[in-house]
Amino acid sequence: MDIKTLQGDFIEAIFGGDKSSAVSHVIGDDLLTAEQRFGIYKGSVHGILTQALGTMFPVCKALVGDKFFDNMCDLFINEYPPKTTYFAEYGGDLPTFLSTFEHVKDIPYLADVARLEWTRQIVWHAKSVEVADFSALSELNEEQQSNVVFQLAKNMHLIESEFRIDELWFAHQPDTDVKLEDIEINHAVKLIIRKDQGTLKISMMSKDENDRDFWDFLHAISLGYNLERLAEQYGEALGNHLSQGIEGAWIQSFTTE
């Protein structure tokens, strides 16, 4: 018996593949067949992961119902088996899975809600940041300054959606004033998710023109625009946006290309 083969057979069968090889390693008896005994482990693995996904995506779970969510997770787990030892890092592929999952095509915002919930996790586990020192920026010559590329703080993420996913999320929180029936779901939003002094905030940045411009500016940075390109795009507003970005610790550092 080769234990490496045995473990490979188990992994294959637990995550939706052929189970005949895995079962062939197991002893059956009068109480449970070898297949049933193997099935206890398959059920246990899927149960553990489904529970973890339910904790990670509680709003998605509430939107589709417990039974549907559990069945959906079974399929997701088979397609995306965990490659990480840390539960906090498992589930990042769920938004992608949902965006093409036939059975939720009537809930077009579900993938974006999953993206919002996952982003909250990423931000939550990101290191806190302090306002960085940008004094070295003034020591660069003109050409070097043109090539500067900024990096956003890791404790914040930007999300854009065609749907009012922020309100949908708030409506599922305890003690909320937001009512599901009042949400105009087909309303595009630009959001910033940020951890600030131990608190996680979701800010809607598409109501006010200044906020919207600032979100677009941060988004341009996230896309890797250099300072020359940012200057072309934002003109006189660039100085204000940069000050706001640096002083608010939204922009963490810079490199010269």
Partner 1 sequence: MKSQNTISTKNPYNKNKIQGCGIGLRIDHFDVIEEQKPDVPWFEALSDNYLLEDTLQRNYLYHIRNDYPITFHGVGMSIGSTEPLNMDYLKRLKKLKDEVQPAWISDHLCWTSAHGVVTHDLIPLPYTTDVAKHIVDRILQVQDFLGEQIVIENVSSYLQFKATDMTEWDFINEVTSHSDCKLLLDVNNIYVSAQNHKFDADEYLFAMPAERVAEIHLAGYEDKGTHLLDTHSRPVTEPVWDLFKKAVKHVGDVPVLIEWDNDIPPLERVLEESATARKYQQAVLSKESPNGH
Q: Which is nearer to partner 1, 85 or 135 (CB)?
A: 85
- Shortest gap between Cβ of 29 and partner 1 (angstroms)? 8
- Shortest gap between Cβ of 14 and partner 1 (angstroms)? 6
Q: Tokens in use for 25?
A: 């390693």
152 contact partners, CB below 8 Å, separation of at least 6: 158, 218, 221, 222, 250, 251, 252
Measured CA distances, 54 to 7, 32, 84, 156, 233 (Å): 27, 30, 17, 23, 42
- Shortest gap between Cβ of 151 and partner 1 (angstroms)? 18
The CA dihedral of 24, 27, 31, 33, to the nearest 10 degrees, is 0
Q: How far is CA 50 from the centre of its chain?
A: 17
- Shortest gap between Cβ of 13 and partner 1 (angstroms)? 11
Q: Which is nearer to partner 1, 33 or 71 (CB)?
A: 33
- Shortest gap between Cβ of 156 and partner 1 (angstroms)? 15
- Shortest gap between Cβ of 54 and partner 1 (angstroms)? 13
Q: Which is nearer to partner 1, 86 or 100 (CB)?
A: 86
Q: Which is nearer to partner 1, 90 or 215 (CB)?
A: 90
Q: Which is nearer to partner 1, 46 or 164 (CB)?
A: 46
- Shortest gap between Cβ of 124 and partner 1 (angstroms)? 7
**Which residues contact partner 1 (rule: CB under 8 A)?**
1, 3-4, 6-8, 10-11, 14-15, 25-27, 31-32, 34, 36-38, 40-41, 44-45, 48-49, 52, 81-88, 124-128, 198
Q: Which is nearer to partner 1, 4 or 207 (CB)?
A: 4
Q: Which amino acid is at 4?
A: K
Query: Kind and range of the H or E element at 255?
Result: strand 251-256
d(C-alpha 205, C-alpha 212), whole Å: 5
What is the rounded end-to-end Cα distance, in angstroms, of the chain?
A: 55
Measured CA distances, 132 to 53, 101, 150, 193 (Å): 35, 42, 12, 20
* Residue 248 phi, psi dihedral angles, 5° rounding: -85, 5
- DSSP character for 135? G
